Amino acid sequence: MRRILLLAVSAAAVSLGVSNAFAQSGSVEKAVGGYNFDEAAKEAAGTKDFHSADGHLTFAIVTHTAGNGFFDPVYVGATVAGNLIGAKVLLLGSESPTDDPAREIEILNQIVQDPTIDGLIMTTPQAGAYNDIVKAAEAKGIPVATTNSFDGTILNRSKLSHTGQDASAAAIAGEALVKCLADKGIEKGSIVLPSSTAMGNIEVNNRVTSAFNAIVKGLKDAGKLENFKVDAGPENTGIDTNPNDPVNGIVTLFESRGDVVGAFAGNNVFTPALAKAVAQTAMTGKICAYGFDLGPAQQDALNSGDLTGALGQQPFLQGFWPVMQLYLQIDRGIAAANLDTRAQLVTKETVGNVGKRFEN
């Protein structure tokens, strides 16, 4: 009987302890300032009538190449964000499969005159070309955010949020290329980084430089730099290659060197071309070939082995965050905040995971 009583008392104590624990769970019901969180979380009364005063927010996102698939997940991300906040998002961009800043600017000049627009998101691949757009938008009271490519010289840069991948992320591909050479037991040869500064994309130039520096550092750290010729052109921004015929340009580059064992391409123009050049010269699996972006062409090349690896920019975020940032500026008065989307290195072993939720 004594043992039963002790067990009962112990059980009661445990029960009491659990009850006390639940009573002290740390739940916070109101702010220190006294206001209610549920009430404070509601949208401001005038948000839906911001600028256009038509009862709903309308944002436009304009890119410099909607024709190659890269920006598809950007548009998905923008749509998801718009759905979350009840905003309409116009998905716009150059129809070209290659970089076309001129067409993008043409679209921007039209859309900034649209009286229904409450916020503008744009890519800025051509440094110095978007100041008039920003000036026109600000004159109309339309907040602006930039995404993907970065223009450090744009008007009122510090007041505009930017979402995108810092070019230094290309070092990840450079490091992977050096490791690939070691894994394959390759001890000497040429490593080439084809590109074109004529395209006017500063971000791509910086990517090539970052990859070049990482390759040189990796080989130097391994004590093998003197065995390789790493060539990214005279300014380390890429060996000049015709962007209008990049495949033949890279094939010619391979054939002229005769000992290419590694290559890096810094954008969606030269990466698919690099893969095709590798296939055409029967170098699949023999060299370490790395590129940028994870569109359909890159995914096919990774599966076939024509590309060893490619860097993704996590572009879903490049659509999602700018929409949310503009909303926060309008509804909460929150100042522009930047987001670095970093890099995702994808190989043949992991490419199957890409695109399952429209993210590449």
> Which CA distances in Å does 58 have to 95, 228, 230?
22, 54, 48
> Are both 128 and 72 inside the same structural domain?
yes
Residue 17 within a domain: no
Residue 35 within a domain: no
The band of 360, judged by pLDDT with boundaries at 50, 70 and 90, is low
> Are both 187 and 257 inside the same structural domain?
yes
> Are both 198 and 124 inside the same structural domain?
no
In this predicted model, which residue has the larger pLDDT, 9 or 189?
Answer: 189
Query: Looking at residues 299-323, what average pLDDT do you find?
Result: 96
Closest CA to 298 of 70, 64, 65, 67: 70
In this predicted structure, what is the pLDDT of residue 2? 46
In this predicted model, which residue has the larger pLDDT, 155 or 359?
Answer: 155
What is the spatial distance between Cα 343 and Cα 164, in angstroms, rounded to a whole number? 10
Q: Is 310 exposed, middle or buried (0-12, 13-18, 19+ CB in 10 A)?
A: buried
Count of the separate structural domains present in the chain:
2
> Are both 138 and 268 inside the same structural domain?
no
pLDDT at 17 exceeding the cut of 90 = no
> Are both 209 and 338 inside the same structural domain?
no
Mean confidence (pLDDT) of the chain: 92
Query: Looking at residues 344-350, what average pLDDT do you find?
Result: 95
- C-alpha of 46 from chain center: 33
In this predicted structure, what is the pLDDT of residue 27? 87
Residue 158 within a domain: yes
pLDDT at 15 exceeding the cut of 80 = no
What is the spatial distance between Cα 349 and Cα 265, in angstroms, rounded to a whole number? 20
Residue 220 within a domain: yes
pLDDT at 185 exceeding the cut of 90 = yes
What SS3 class is residue 78?
helix
Bridge partners, 230 (sequence order): 191
Query: Looking at residues 284-309, what average pLDDT do you find?
Result: 95
* Chain segment 204-234, per-residue pLDDT in tens: 999 999 999 999 999 999 999 999 999 999 9
The band of 356, judged by pLDDT with boundaries at 50, 70 and 90, is confident
> Are both 135 and 185 inside the same structural domain?
no
Say if CB 155 and CB 133 are below 8 A apart.
no
Query: Looking at residues 8-24, what average pLDDT do you find?
Result: 48
Residue 1 within a domain: no
Task: Work out the percent of the chain whose per-residue pLDDT is above 90.
Answer: 81
Residue 263 within a domain: yes
Q: What CATH number did the domain enclosing 329 receive?
A: 3.40.50.2300
Residue 14 within a domain: no
Rounded to the nearest 5 degrees, what angle is found at the Cα of 303, between the Cα atoms of 302 and 305? 65
> Are both 199 and 102 inside the same structural domain?
no
The band of 259, judged by pLDDT with boundaries at 50, 70 and 90, is very high
In this predicted structure, what is the pLDDT of residue 13? 46
Q: Which DSSP string corresponds to 165-234?
A: --GGGGHHHHHHHHHHHHHHT--SEEEE-EE-GGG-BHHHHHHHHHHHHHHHHHHHHTT-GGGEEEE--T
Q: Which DSSP string corresponds to 130-143?
A: -HHHHHHHHHTT--
Strand pairing category for 144-147 and 161-164: parallel
pLDDT at 16 exceeding the cut of 60 = no
> Are both 106 and 219 inside the same structural domain?
no
* Chain segment 70-102, per-residue pLDDT in tens: 899 999 999 999 999 999 999 999 999 888 999
> Are both 100 and 125 inside the same structural domain?
yes
pLDDT at 3 exceeding the cut of 50 = no
In this predicted structure, what is the pLDDT of residue 325? 97
The band of 359, judged by pLDDT with boundaries at 50, 70 and 90, is low
* Domain enclosing residue 109, as ranges: 58-165+315-342
Query: Looking at residues 176-194, what average pLDDT do you find?
Result: 98
In this predicted structure, what is the pLDDT of residue 68? 80
CB contact burial 201-237 (16+ within 10 A = b; e otherwise)? bbbbbbbbbbbbbbbbebbeeeebeeebebbbbeebb
pTM for this model (two decimals): 0.77
> Are both 105 and 182 inside the same structural domain?
no
Task: Work out the percent of the chain whose per-residue pLDDT is above 70.
Answer: 93
Residue 33 within a domain: no
> Are both 158 and 179 inside the same structural domain?
no
Strand pairing category for 288-292 and 309-312: parallel
In this predicted model, which residue has the larger pLDDT, 61 or 22?
Answer: 61
pLDDT at 127 exceeding the cut of 90 = no
Q: What is the largest CA-CA distance in the chain?
A: 96
What is the spatial distance between Cα 78 and Cα 321, in angstroms, rounded to a whole number? 8
> Are both 92 and 176 inside the same structural domain?
no
Query: Looking at residues 156-171, what average pLDDT do you find?
Result: 95
